[in-house]
Amino acid sequence: MEESEKLTRLTQARGLVAALEANDEAEYLAGLNALAASQTQPMFEEVGRMTREVHEALMTFATDDRLNLLAEDEMPDARDRLRYVITLTEQAANRTLALVEEAFPVADRLMDRAERLQIELAQIQQRHADNTPLVDVITGLTEYLESVQQNGGVLKTGLTDIMMAQEFQDLSGQLLLRVIALLETLEGKMLGLLQKIHPVSAEKPAAPTVAALSQGLGPMVPGAKPHASAAEPIKNQDDVDDLLASLGF
């Protein structure tokens, strides 16, 4: 608190005490009202400044053609692009899952066939154990078939991982749908705000009665002009500008 403000409040407080001691009710009430006014005036001025800043921002907002372009063209286009991304990722995921489902039986058949060949080769090796060259060939084939079975297991594990990885499509799709919903909400609010602060009306509505205009207006602001709605409702930013000017902001 500044020293001057402190002295002012101290003087007002002493005046209140003096009025009470003198049993001067009128002076006491006047001092009390002055003290209350000194407390509310800074708040009133701050609200006025904030209102003026918001008003100026809205005026700039309404005259910015880029916002109209954003609300009417770019945001719908962004939604379409996001939906297209969802469609592409969904198609890619479905195609991947289809290929994985086709590859699983192929891997199973390779592993089963390799196992049967190993059994048959083992039987041949037993019958021709004295044929060293043949046994050497069978041994090499058996080792190859064992690697086929092992690699087949690795292949099936990889296919399972690929299938599980496609879950990201559902998660990303849900996230993009939420983003689209957010854009649609934001777009609607922007368009509504643009229509309110910069309306384009084909025809003027019928003038309401004075009684209807006076409803819900609240008390008069001291020092201000009568409510614009009592004679003419505040319809645009010029009326707001006039009202703020009448209040000293």
pLDDT per residue as tens digits for the range 136-152 = 999 999 999 999 999 99
Q: How far is CA 25 from the centre of its chain?
A: 58
Give the integer Cα–Cα distance in Å for 21 and 14.
10
Average pLDDT in the chain: 72
Which one is predicted more confidently, 33 or 68?
Answer: 33
Task: Find, among 118, 185, 190, 196, the residue nearest to 150 by Cα.
Answer: 118
**Six-digit token pair at 19?**
């009025």
Give the integer Cα–Cα distance in Å for 179 and 187.
12
Which one is predicted more confidently, 107 or 223?
Answer: 107
User: What are the tens digits of pLDDT across the range 161-217?
Assistant: 998 888 777 777 788 888 778 877 876 776 666 666 555 433 444 444 444 434 444
**Six-digit token pair at 98?**
């289809």
Give the integer Cα–Cα distance in Å for 84 and 116.
49
**Six-digit token pair at 39?**
């407390």
- Rounded to a whole number, what is the distance in angstroms from the first to the last CA of the chain? 25
Amino acid at 190: M
User: What are the tens digits of pLDDT across the range 25-45?
Assistant: 787 778 777 766 666 666 667
Give the integer Cα–Cα distance in Å for 162 and 153.
14
pLDDT above 50 for 134: yes
Largest CA distance in the chain: 136
- Classify burial at 147, counting beta carbons within 10 Å of its beta carbon; exposed 0-12, middle 13-18, buried 19 or more: exposed
